[in-house]
Amino acid sequence: MPRPKSLIKSIHTAVRLPADLHKKLSEAGRGALAEEIKRRLESSFAFEAMDPPTRELLAAILQMAELVHGDVGLPWHTNAYLRAVLGEAITAWLADKVPGDANVPSVNAKASAHVSHALLNQGDSAKIAGKRLLHFYKVARAPHDAAMHYQDRLRTNPLLRQADEQWRRERAFAKQGKKP
């Protein structure tokens, strides 16, 4: 059966990779090497698109998590104490970056509160606003998690993959006004 044409225009390219990197990418993509390379490239562009202070925060969190793991021999997420240590380190890092009382909204935060009724309400403590932010994050993250679960199942389940390919072919024909 011929491979269906992709709905997204793409350009074929050849990239020379060291054997060990090729193996890691193949294993990470569970055999879908091209998809794994695309996913990782898109991720790197998304990281670069962030503003520098956000990139610095993410780098600091990663480094602190590695320091915990290197010092204790366990990842930060293996117990409540290590999670709390990392949380306090992140909080202290943020406090060093922007000094002031976190429980008193700044002039800029108050101005934002007038615009945003979803996250920041005037008079809310940082703790309450933070819990609200976490809730919105979880709600926004749910479709992404579901999509990732579907993509994992698509890679490992041949019947689901076949049904997905059939659906894509039918959708492509429908867009062209043809029948499959």
Residue 39 lies in a domain: yes
Q: Are residues 95 and 141 in the same domain?
A: no
Residue 18 lies in a domain: no
Report the alpha-carbon angle 149-151-154, nearest 5: 110
Annotate 82-104 with DSSP letters as a single string: HHHHHHHHHHHHHHHHS-S-TTS
Distance CA 162, CA 175 (A): 20
Range of the domain at 49: 25-99
Q: Please report, for residues 14, 38, 106, 107, 137, the alpha-carbon distance to residue 31 in angstroms, rounded to integers and kept in the order given.
A: 17, 13, 50, 52, 31
**Nearest Cα to Cα of residue 39 among 140, 142, 138, 147:** 147
Residue 45 lies in a domain: yes
Distance CA 44, CA 55 (A): 11
Q: Are residues 175 and 140 in the same domain?
A: yes
Residue type, 65: A
Q: Are residues 169 and 135 in the same domain?
A: yes
What is the full per-residue pLDDT of the chain (180 aa) written as tens digits?
A: 555 666 667 788 888 989 999 888 888 877 788 888 888 899 899 889 999 999 999 999 999 999 999 988 999 999 999 999 999 999 888 888 876 666 665 555 545 444 455 556 666 777 777 777 777 777 777 877 777 777 777 777 888 778 878 887 888 877 777 665
Q: Are residues 95 and 127 in the same domain?
A: no
Q: Are residues 121 and 94 in the same domain?
A: no
Distance CA 53, CA 48 (A): 11
Instruction: Give me the number of domains the chain comprises.
Output: 2
Tokens for 130, please give them: 């933070």
113 neighbors 122 (Cβ within 8 angstroms): yes
Domain boundary among 66, 99, 132: 99
